[in-house]
Structure 1
Amino acid sequence: MALESYVPVVIFAVVALLFPLGTFFATRLFRPDHPTPLKDLTYECGEVPEGVAQIQFHFQYYMFALIFVIFDVAAIFLLLWAFAWGGLLNSTSPVAKFSIFLFLGIMFVATQYALKKEEVIQI
């Protein structure tokens, strides 16, 4: 394959790197820098903030988020596997079928571990 076919890719990569860097440094050069206490306040839709912005936040539903991510990734892999299933049925190699069942087993064990570790969660 000739190197001339890679010229558009190289041009795209150079522009993709230089444009964000150029705009970042251009804004630092041309913007006025006059910090004031009013500008340092947390912006809350035009309202003057009340209280402290740094609070202790108890995230109680992190296990729901963790299990959602597990099932979301599993759904993506299972969807891709289902699309390729027609080719896998004609395959004589059991490696493809073993790999998906291994993945499902690991996902099941991870989900069971998460549910056993956090006993207050109910799905």
Structure 2
Amino acid sequence: MFLLPKYDSFWLFLLIASLIPVSAFSISKILAPVSQGPEKLTSYESGIEPMGDAWIQFQIRYYMFALVFVIFDVETVFLYPWAMSFKELGISAFIEALIFVLILIIGLIYAWRKGALEWS
């Protein structure tokens, strides 16, 4: 037997959760002042008159450094739940986590040798 009335609170929550952002954006669109002009199209630099073009090309080392940071930041997200349930998981989970960390260390050594961690 399918009991749809049990989900009334869920549907109400879903409706309210959908209406709040839609109404906020709609009210903002209606009430916000619209001003167009050359000042609106300039880049903001702390109130100082911008110099040069806002579209500059960044060097690849910034992206490589950020990528290495993200990889090792995500590593902690994967290792934290494992560390919290270490006693219940047993030796096989320990070996799996050790292999995971070993792969990351190999990746770190590779990035180090390629010069991705140098900031010159």
TM-score for both structures, normalised by structure 2: 0.70
Unaligned runs of 5+ in 2: none
Q: C-alpha separation between the residues in 1 aligned to 2:28 and 2:116? A: 51
Matches within 5 A, 1:1-123: 3-89=4-90, 94=92, 96-118=93-115, 121=118
Q: C-alpha separation between the residues in 2 aligned to 1:120 and 1:111? A: 9
Contact 1:63 1:118 in 2 (8 A): no
Count residues with an aligned counterpart. Answer: 118
Tell me which stretches of 4 or more aligned residues in structure 1 moved more than 4 Å: 1-5
1:75 Cα shift?
2.4
TM-score for both structures, normalised by structure 1: 0.69
Structure 2 letter corresponding to 1:111: L
Q: C-alpha separation between the residues in 1 aligned to 2:74 and 2:35? A: 46
1:83 Cα shift?
1.5
Secondary structure of the equivalent of 1:60? helix
Q: Let me know the Cα RMSD of the aligned residues.
A: 3.0
Percent same amino acid at aligned positions? 36
Contact 1:42 1:49 in 2 (8 A): yes
Distance of aligned partners of 1:36 and 1:63 in 2 relative to their CA distance in 1, 3 Å threshold: closer
Structure 2 letter corresponding to 1:68: F
Cα deviations by residue, 1:20-76 (Å, 9 ceiling, x for unpaired):
122222322333323111222222222222222122222534333333222222223
